[in-house]
């Protein structure tokens, strides 16, 4: 029966689709209306921000911009992209994202792969120990003391190492290895006399590209978006990632004025509010650029985790 109906469905809507009863068509209309409302609610703030960022300072300050740029201007972007703090923050965040992702993915694979092997003695004990750290954390201050004792305070390492491995990511990777690499492969490889590291490098990793993509995306997004570790561990403004720079400019209002006369100061104050909108757009741009990849791969990662939590 299911064969019959699925064939029916495959034949396409125009040929065989039966007209739905009136009640269902009304219901579907309501559903679509609801989805449209949800779409608009999510979209409206984003459009509001973008529209403001492309408007003139006067229009923004007068509150005349709603959902379309008024007196189109790129001035805010020019100022944002020539600000040394923003550029330094961008540069730092790029370093943290690239280096952090490399370190994190390597370490995650290094623990998840052995734990995925059924003959790896101690795997259950180790896994339990890892999961326990999800349930009970050492806390902010004790972790700070460890970082302090290691001499990592106020260095780039403080953002790369203390949060390097996510247990969730280990679970995702371990599940992937356990489910998608057949055991026969290991036997064949060991009969050929390949060492464990060699098997990992030339057999397992080439088969695990989707996993590596998911892990890399997750860690990159985390590094790009987080500000907590930087807030706690860094004092030197030259090391600040973009998110801290944004926080200082957007939320604490601490843009350095540096203007001489009153007219200039006033102009700058006006500019500051447009600048905020432009900064939001500029800082979210890298994530937006990789968003199509994220939408495809992230979902898979979420699913793996959800299936085997």
Residue of 7, 138, 259, 289 interacting with another protein (CB under 8 A): 138
296 binds another protein (CB under 8 A): no
- For the record, the structure tokens of 177 come out as 């290895």
49 binds another protein (CB under 8 A): yes
Question: Closest CB to another protein among 121 and 256?
Answer: 121
How many residues make contact with another protein (CB under 8 A)? Answer: 96
206 binds another protein (CB under 8 A): no
280 binds another protein (CB under 8 A): yes
Residue of 221, 255, 268, 270 interacting with another protein (CB under 8 A): 221
Question: Closest CB to another protein among 129 and 259?
Answer: 129
Tell the smallest beta-carbon distance from residue 68 to another protein (Å).
14
Residue of 154, 205, 227, 255 interacting with another protein (CB under 8 A): 227
Residue of 28, 185, 259, 266 interacting with another protein (CB under 8 A): 28
60 binds another protein (CB under 8 A): yes
Tell the smallest beta-carbon distance from residue 101 to another protein (Å).
15
Question: Closest CB to another protein among 154 and 225?
Answer: 225
Segment 228 to 247, residues that bind another protein, using CB under 8 A: 228, 232, 243, 246-247
Question: Closest CB to another protein among 146 and 259?
Answer: 146
Tell the smallest beta-carbon distance from residue 102 to another protein (Å).
14
For residues 193 and 169, what is the distance between their CA atoms, to the nearest angstrom? 31
* Three-state helix/strand/coil letters over the chain: CHHHHHHHHHCCHHHHCCCCCHHHHHHHHHHHHHHHHHHHHHHHHHHHHHHHHCCCHHHHHCCCCCCCCCCCCCHHHHHHHHCHHHHHHHHHHHHHHHHHHHHHHHHHHHHHHHHHCCCCCCHHHHHHHHHHHHHCCCCHHHHHHHHHHCCCCCCCHHHHCCCCCCHHHHHHHHHHHHHHCCHHHHHHHHHCCCCHHHHHHHHHHHHCHHHHHHHHHHHHHHHHHCCHHHHHHCCCHHHCCHHHHHHHHHHCCCCCCCCCCHHHHHHHHHHHHHHHHHHHHHHHHHHHHCHHHHHHHHHHHHHHHHHCC
192 binds another protein (CB under 8 A): no
Question: Closest CB to another protein among 162 and 260?
Answer: 162
5 binds another protein (CB under 8 A): yes
21 binds another protein (CB under 8 A): yes
């Amino acid at each position: 029966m299911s064969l019959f109906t699925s064939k029916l469905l495959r034949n396409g809507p125009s040929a065989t689709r039966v007209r739905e009863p009136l009640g269902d068509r009304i219901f579907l209309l309501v559903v679509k209306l609801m989805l449209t409302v949800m779409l608009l609610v999510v979209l409206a703030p984003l459009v509001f921000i973008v529209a403001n960022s492309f408007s003139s300072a006067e229009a923004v300050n007068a509150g005349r911009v709603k959902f379309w740029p008024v007196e189109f201007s790129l001035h805010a972007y020019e100022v944002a992209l020539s600000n040394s703090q923003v550029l330094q923050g961008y540069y730092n965040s790029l370093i943290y994202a690239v280096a952090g992702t490399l370190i994190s993915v390597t370490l995650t694979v290094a623990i998840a792969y052995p734990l995925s092997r059924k003959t790896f003695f101690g795997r259950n004990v180790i896994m339990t120990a890892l999961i326990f750290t999800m349930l009970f954390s050492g806390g902010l201050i004790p972790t700070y003391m460890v970082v302090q004792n290691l001499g990592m305070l106020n260095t780039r390492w403080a953002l790369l190492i203390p949060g390097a491995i996510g247990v969730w990511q280990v679970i995702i990777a371990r599940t992937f290895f356990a489910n998608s690499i057949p055991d026969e492969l290991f036997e064949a490889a060991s009969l050929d006399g390949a060492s464990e590291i060699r098997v990992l490098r030339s057999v397992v990793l080439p088969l695990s590209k989707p996993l590596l993509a998911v892990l890399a995306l997750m860690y990159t997004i985390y590094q790009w978006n987080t500000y907590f570790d930087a807030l706690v561990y860094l004092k030197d403004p030259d090391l600040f990632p973009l998110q801290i720079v944004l926080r200082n400019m957007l939320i604490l209002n601490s843009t350095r004025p540096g203007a001489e006369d009153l007219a200039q100061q006033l102009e700058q104050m006006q500019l500051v509010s447009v600048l905020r909108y432009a900064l939001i757009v500029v800082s979210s741009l890298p994530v937006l650029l990789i968003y199509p990849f994220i939408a495809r791969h992230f979902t898979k990662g979420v699913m793996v985790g959800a299936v085997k939590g």
